[in-house]
Amino acid sequence: MERSEPDAADDNAMDSFLEKFQSQPYRGGFHEDQWEEAPWFGVTLSRPDLCCCRQMEQAKTYKDEGNDYFKEKDYKKAVISYTEGLKKKCADPDLNAVLYTNRAAAQYYLGNFRSALNDVTAARKLKPCHLKAIIRGALCHLELKHFAEAVNWCDEGLQIDAKEKKLLEVRAKADKLKRTEQRDMRKAKLKEKKEQTQNEALLQAVKARNIRLVSEAVNQDEDSASEGPGEIFLDGLSSENPYGARLSLDDQGRLSWPVLLLYPEHAQSDFISAFHEDSRFIDHLMVMFGETPSWDLEQKYCPANLEVYFEDEDRAELYRVPPKSTLLQVLQHPRYFVKALTPAFLVFVGSSPFCKNYLRGRKVHQVK
């Protein structure tokens, strides 16, 4: 059908409208200085709104960039990108929660578990029910050996999703390790209590024998040593000496000491891990020198030739120990002080020039 031509009335109406439009400008337009007030898409955008949108877009861009680095396992660069996104401080809490959670994941794979935990904690402040943040937080607590906290985080996550497989797995592992840790702590406390009881028994045994104790680092005279050996004694018992032995008390209430024998002439030594207090020095010398030691090239270290001494360092005096003396008899001497719970004695070949030279100028006493 052909279109009909407009009639004369229509032409006149159109001419009248055009004349009016040309003579009166359109009043609904916006001046270029007022363009931000335009109702774009039905929303009035102020300058702060535009700035917020820009920050959000930039934060999203950094998030996507961080995700790409994360997929490439370049976790250091991923951390940097997520950090830049957070610096934009956009107003979207969900986006910021994602940035914190993703940065936590990157930190986790870098082994920075405390930093990762800080990030997921910040994410949960913005979005308490963010399940990924809860899962990663539980994993961080597990790595940090905070087993009880890991269980708590898992329980909170399972309230949101009771079938979350990762949370169920982490909770089972953390709960098992928590129980193991609690068991080990109970054992350690029992062991500590047992050792304390043993130490107290040893202390009483030493005190009953009037044996004087001093620490390795402190020189004390007889009075001060006898006034308060308990603290020094118990400190020493808390750890073994360098030779791996320690003072012990048998079922009959008799003491055995770790004893050090020094041979100054040859810069050699022997260590007796358990020298019973009723044993004699000659008994140990007979065993140790039943065969000639490799360093005794002159073969002069025979039990019959040996002399045993202890030194009173405060007075710079030496005391000769009769070979048939028991260890207890010597330790009870008023001028003997046990250092670091390890009695020590000097052993010489009595007729040797070295012994005579060593004793020259020193006051020597005979132990009775």
Asked if residue 154 belongs to a domain, the reply is yes
Give residue 39's pLDDT. Answer: 46
CATH number at residue 310: 3.10.20.90
Q: Based on the fold, state whether residues 62 and 173 are members of the same structural domain.
A: yes
Asked if residue 202 belongs to a domain, the reply is no
Asked if residue 206 belongs to a domain, the reply is no
Task: Tell me which of 136, 155, 179 is where a domain ends.
Answer: 179
Q: Based on the fold, state whether residues 56 and 137 are members of the same structural domain.
A: yes
How far from 19 is each of 11, 28, 344, CA to CA, in Å?
A: 13, 19, 125
Checking if the pLDDT of 225 tops 50, the result is no
How far from 231 is each of 14, 200, 213, 234, 288, CA to CA, in Å?
A: 115, 11, 10, 5, 35
Average pLDDT over residues 182-206: 92
Asked if residue 3 belongs to a domain, the reply is no
Q: What are phi and psi of 167, to 5 degrees?
A: -65, -40
Give residue 9's pLDDT. Answer: 53
Measured at the alpha carbon of residue 64, what is the angle toward residues 58 and 70, in degrees to the nearest 5?
135
Q: Based on the fold, state whether residues 360 and 251 are members of the same structural domain.
A: yes
Classify residue 297 as exposed, middle or buried by CB count within 10 Å of its CB (0-12, 13-18, 19+).
Answer: exposed
Residue with tokens 């008994």: 283
Which tens digit of pLDDT belongs to each residue from 1-25? 444 444 545 555 555 644 554 555 5
Q: Based on the fold, state whether residues 81 and 173 are members of the same structural domain.
A: yes
* Domain membership of residue 261 as a residue range: 242-366
Q: In angstroms, how far is CA 226 from the centroid of its own chain?
A: 39
Phi-psi region of 210 (alpha: psi -120 to 50; beta: other; left: phi over 0): left
Cβ neighbors of 284 (< 8 A, separation 6 or more) are 261, 272, 275
Give residue 246's pLDDT. Answer: 87
Q: How many domains does the chain have?
A: 2
Tokens of 86: 């957070």
Q: Based on the fold, state whether residues 264 and 149 are members of the same structural domain.
A: no
Asked if residue 346 belongs to a domain, the reply is yes
Reference 211, options 328, 366, 314, 317; nearest CA is 328
Q: What are phi and psi of 91, to 5 degrees?
A: -85, 5
Q: In angstroms, how far is CA 17 from the centroid of its own chain?
A: 88
Task: Tell me which of 179, 206, 229 is where a domain ends.
Answer: 179
Strand ranges, E, within 313-362: 317-321, 337-339, 344-349
Average pLDDT over residues 125-141: 96
Average pLDDT over residues 49-57: 75
Parallel/antiparallel/unpaired status of strands 306-312 and 344-349:
antiparallel
Q: Of 359 and 230, which is predicted with more confidence? A: 359
Task: Tell me which of 179, 203, 229 is where a domain ends.
Answer: 179
Asked if residue 185 belongs to a domain, the reply is no
Q: What CA–CA distance (Å, rounded) separates 272 from 261?
A: 8
CATH number at residue 147: 1.25.40.10
Other residues' Cβ atoms within 10 Å of the Cβ of residue 120: 29
Asked if residue 28 belongs to a domain, the reply is no
Reference 233, options 244, 247, 220, 223; nearest CA is 247
**Band of residue 311 on the pLDDT scale cut at 50, 70, 90:** very high
Beta pairing partners, 365: 319
Which tens digit of pLDDT belongs to each residue from 227-237? 444 444 444 45
Average pLDDT over residues 157-167: 96
Q: Based on the fold, state whether residues 261 and 361 are members of the same structural domain.
A: yes
Average pLDDT over residues 175-192: 95
Which tens digit of pLDDT belongs to each residue from 75-109? 999 999 999 999 998 889 999 999 999 999 999 99
Asked if residue 104 belongs to a domain, the reply is yes
